[in-house]
Structure 1
Amino acid sequence: MDALSMRRLGQELNVGAMSLYHHVASKEELLDGMVDLVFAEIELTESRDDWQTAMRARAVSAREVLARHPWAISLMASRTNSGPANLRHHEAVKASLRTAGFSIPMATHANWLLDSYIYGFALQEATLPFAGADELADMIHEVFLPQLPPQEYPYLNESANELTRSNYNPADEFTYGLSLILDALERARLVARP
């Protein structure tokens, strides 16, 4: 994102940088629009859906979108001028949580928790030194296990060996963690009911 400039964008589009200003007022407005386009790709939740189903679908969709646009992860919550897709997205999340019986504070907590998990997971996935389970297995054998003498690191060594034997796929961690979060939020929602 630091490398993005109106001049560079103009060069990429074979137009003068000044002609871009007929469409956007500044780089900040351009970034706002780019983030809004990313939000437009995320599946909207329906307030009439079961809240857990809706939040799960939204989270999975957001993860897929952020995998296609890793540059957007750090910008998603930083924009102060929200576009229409961004606002529709956040309205749908709040509507789903509120109609499910979450209080305003609990809906806010749930939204923050879910977004932190989704964005954090997407960021971690984008920076992993391997792509997929097969590359991880190779890396465990070639890089990690040689660094993990069993007498010095018995638990790390044990884990590394078990992960390769069980065809472990780190991509499955997202749905596992998401299920834990949704279950915890459901318990909190039920406890808070009058």
Structure 2
Amino acid sequence: MTERVEAKRRAPLSRDRVLGAAVELADNAGIESLSMRSLSGELGVVPMALYKHVSSKEELLDGMVDVVIGEIDTQIRGIDWKNAVRQRILSARQVLLRHPWARQVIESRTNKSPVVLGYMDSMIGIFRAGGFTVDLTHHVMHAVGSRMWGFTQEVFDDSQTESQSVDPELQAAMFSEMAEKYPHIVEMAMAASHQGESVVGQGCDDQFEFEFALDLLLDGFERLHQRQWTSTGRSRRGGSI
């Protein structure tokens, strides 16, 4: 084991190796642990050696996003646009689950690299190849939003408090008070199927919720496409779909 680690440290430094080590460090210890100094320690080099391959931590983070996006399966052939989009997005979700830190970093990026632009272009291409107009594709991409990267912003996200230890009696009292003030929220929470590993929120099956929303969108896109929907002349405030 020690020999393998030493051999890895002696391997020539390259941009790919730097980015791979950064991703591995973030996977194992969290993105908060990542710094040029901690990364150089993992690689067994002095910090200045990293700057030959990445000019700053921001460039390092951009490169890490590229590595993650590169893991998404884009080689989907021979199926209709709807299944192609579904498989692509679910592949992206699996990648994000392997790299929990990536969502935070993707959301923080202000510049889009060629890898990011290429991925977005290929996603648009699926809809265009499926016969969607440029107009409809424009609005579809807005609706897809962050789902193309495998995540969404959940309205009920109490995953930060779920793991905290709470006295059962105190919890019951808090729940009773909540039920008086917010009966519909409590009613829905009580009806949810409980999944201990959920990252959406306490009591939610996060994978089910993700696919449920995705399928609703895809079904809606399909209906609009079949109706040859166009935004031309439509009010920005409404109109049936």
Partner residue of 1:185 out of 190, 202, 221: 221
Give the number of the structure whose residues are more often helix, by fraction: 1
CA displacement, residues 105-160 of structure 1 (integer Å, 9 cap, x when unaligned): 322322232133455845549972488xxx8xxx9x88865423255544334333
Aligned partners of 1:95 and 1:47: how far apart in 2?
A: 13
Range with bigger deviation, 90-99 or 174-183: 90-99
Q: CA shift at 1:89, angstroms?
A: 2.2
Query: Aligned AA for 1:188?
Result: L
Query: Aligned AA for 1:155?
Result: H
Pairing 1:127-166 to 2, within 5 Å after superposition: 128-129=159-160, 146-149=173-176, 150=179, 152-163=181-192
C-alpha change, 1:50 and 1:127, in structure 2 (3 Å) is farther
Is the 8 Å Cα contact of residues 73 and 122 (structure 1) preserved in structure 2? no
Aligned partners of 1:19 and 1:180: how far apart in 2?
A: 49
Range with bigger deviation, 96-105 or 142-151: 142-151
Is the 8 Å Cα contact of residues 47 and 99 (structure 1) preserved in structure 2? no
Aligned residues: 187
Structure number with larger C-alpha Rg: 2
SS of the residue 2:106 aligns to: coil
Partner of 1:96: 126
C-alpha change, 1:32 and 1:160, in structure 2 (3 Å) is closer
Partner residue of 1:114 out of 144, 158, 161: 144
Fraction of identical pairs, as percent: 34
Q: CA shift at 1:34, angstroms?
A: 0.7
Is the 8 Å Cα contact of residues 72 and 95 (structure 2) preserved in structure 1? yes
Query: Aligned AA for 1:67?
Result: L
Q: CA shift at 1:48, angstroms?
A: 4.9
Task: Please list every run of 5 or more consecutive structure 2 residues that lacks an aligned counterpart in the other structure.
Answer: 1-30, 196-202, 231-241
Pairing 1:1-194 to 2, within 5 Å after superposition: 4-44=34-74, 46=76, 48-76=78-106, 78-84=109-115, 86-117=116-147, 121-122=151-152, 124=154, 128-129=159-160, 146-149=173-176, 150=179, 152-163=181-192, 169-192=205-228
- TM-score normalised per structure 2: 0.62
Is the 8 Å Cα contact of residues 96 and 150 (structure 2) preserved in structure 1? no
Aligned partners of 1:87 and 1:81: how far apart in 2?
A: 6
Aligned partners of 1:16 and 1:143: how far apart in 2?
A: 52
Task: Please list every run of 5 or more consecutive structure 1 residues that lacks an aligned counterpart in the other structure.
Answer: none
Q: CA shift at 1:19, angstroms?
A: 0.9
Is the 8 Å Cα contact of residues 91 and 150 (structure 2) preserved in structure 1? no
Q: CA shift at 1:60, angstroms?
A: 0.9
Is the 8 Å Cα contact of residues 81 and 127 (structure 2) preserved in structure 1? yes
Range with bigger deviation, 33-42 or 47-56: 47-56
Higher relative contact order (CA 8 A, sep 6+): 1
- TM-score normalised per structure 1: 0.74
Alpha-carbon RMSD across the aligned residues, in angstroms, is 3.6
Q: CA shift at 1:186, angstroms?
A: 1.3
